Amino acid sequence: MPVVSVLSLVKSPPTNAFGLVQYLSQRLPGYDPSEHLRELNSAYIHVWEEITKLKNHYFTNIVRVTTVTAAYQYDLMFNADAALSAAVSPRLYQVTKLRFMAPGSTQFASSVALTPNHPDFVEINSASSANPSQSGPYRWYLSGRNQLNMGLPLAVGTVIEVTYTFWPIALTFLSDEVVSSVSNVVTGVSTNFTNLLQPDFQAYLPNVQAQEEIQAEFLCNPTVPLGGQIYRVTKIVSDTVLNTKTPVAPVLAAGSPYALATLPEIPREHIRVIAALALKNMYSVAGDDQRSGEWTAIYEKNIQMCKDALEQRQGQTPAQKIRFPGSLARRNRAWMR
């Protein structure tokens, strides 16, 4: 992590990675910000896994890709062999459903997931001809890092609809160098705004509000009343330019400090659950700190509130605060029982 020159200046509420680090540092001082951030990300993954156990599919996405090569295998995660029109997602964690549309068709056909040694898969795979399948049957299994293996090779032009859960991108923040602003355009000097995300996930930088796009906040003006300002980032244009949703006021003079932070991809009002778990884990390191038990109770209460809120909102008709198109539990309330 870079040296954080504004950590003690900007009073960010715990809505983004920067604010969560401050939240921990105030309750458990003496640690480097990178240590707090590491514990927060460990807790974030745990919270993510708890939410993905719900049947409301909050972290689900649906993507369609098209075959450009007739093959038995397709790399859904990275499309390394360029056999598809595009990769499904480098964030792909677990495929939950596949549907196929044959070339020239307007209807999707269902498919069956089998093991590679299942008799039905062995039969269709061993009897396959050199001609790619135009209409199925579609039998498949996954191997390695979401490598799709087909019983019959798919014809060029086959549409594959992939329903999947995806993995979180680590929380982080930047505060290197300095910035200035004009209206809603922030310009940095030797900054590296795009480093907010790792190279494999550059497509998810704030840009067009896509489904798996990461949200970010820009923190500045630490001397204004109430300890600083926070602006939503709508686009990271380059390493030295970003746009905010509303104009920065007062404008930032040349040489102004800042922080650029990612937001956890959970409901905003429940973000503290991540900090609660991180504190519980850090207090437990000593083994005899009674605050570990206190924060365990706080975390357990908060995570249950978070899950209850998600189930309630997405169980309404119409569903409220749907994050992704796969969040369709309202169609069958029995899923949540």
118 and 134 fall within a common domain = yes
pLDDT at 225 over 70: yes
228 and 146 fall within a common domain = no
Give the whole-angstrom CA distance, residue 19 versus residue 163.
33
Q: What is the DSSP string of 91-142?
A: TEEEEEEEEEE-TT-SS-B--EE--TT-HHHHHHHHT--SSPBSS---EEEE
Higher per-residue confidence, 325 vs 152: 152
Range of the domain at 68: 60-166
pTM over 0.75: yes
203 and 244 fall within a common domain = yes
Domain annotation covers residue 44: yes
87 and 32 fall within a common domain = no
pLDDT at 335: 34
pLDDT digits (tens, 9 = 90+) for 236-251: 999 999 999 999 999 9
145 and 159 fall within a common domain = yes
130 and 160 fall within a common domain = yes
Please, which pLDDT band fits residue 320 given cuts at 50, 70 and 90? low
Domain annotation covers residue 324: yes
271 and 241 fall within a common domain = no
92 and 135 fall within a common domain = yes
28 and 102 fall within a common domain = no
- By residue count, the chain amounts to 337
Instruction: Give the residue from 166, 197, 224 where a domain finishes.
Output: 166
**Average per-residue pLDDT for the chain:** 86
Per the structure, the count of domains in the chain is 3
Find the largest Cα–Cα distance for the chain: 74
pLDDT at 3 over 60: no
Q: Tell me the percentage of the chain whose pLDDT exceeds 90.
A: 59
94 and 151 fall within a common domain = yes
Higher per-residue confidence, 143 vs 312: 143
Q: At residue 154, what are phi and psi to the nearest 5 degrees?
A: -85, 140
Domain annotation covers residue 104: yes
Please, which pLDDT band fits residue 336 given cuts at 50, 70 and 90? very low
pLDDT at 2: 41
Domain annotation covers residue 287: yes
pLDDT at 30: 87
pLDDT at 252 over 70: yes
Ranges 50-54, 111-115, 180-184, 212-216, most confident: 180-184
What CATH number corresponds to the domain at position 207?
2.40.30
Domain annotation covers residue 7: no
Domain annotation covers residue 45: yes
Q: At residue 125, what are phi and psi to the nearest 5 degrees?
A: -70, -40
pLDDT at 57: 74
pLDDT at 322 over 50: yes
Report the alpha-carbon angle 207-211-214, nearest 5: 55
Report the half-sphere exposure of 261 (CA within 13 A, side-chain side).
Answer: 25
Instruction: Give the residue from 208, 241, 263 where a domain finishes.
Output: 263
Domain annotation covers residue 4: no
DSSP state of 192: -
Across the range 216-220, mean pLDDT stands at 94
pLDDT at 169 over 70: yes
Give the whole-angstrom CA distance, residue 151 versus residue 200.
30
- Cis preceding-peptide flag for 250 (omega within 30 of 0): yes
Instruction: Give the residue from 237, 263, 289 where a domain finishes.
Output: 263
298 and 224 fall within a common domain = no
Pairing of β 229-236 and β 216-220: antiparallel
250 and 314 fall within a common domain = no
Please, which pLDDT band fits residue 323 given cuts at 50, 70 and 90? low
pLDDT digits (tens, 9 = 90+) for 12-34: 778 899 999 999 998 888 889 99
Sheet containing strand 60-66, edge to edge, reads: 60-66, 159-166, 92-101
Please, which pLDDT band fits residue 124 given cuts at 50, 70 and 90? confident
Extract the tokens encoding 333. 């309330």
Domain annotation covers residue 233: yes
Higher per-residue confidence, 276 vs 10: 276
Please, which pLDDT band fits residue 321 given cuts at 50, 70 and 90? low
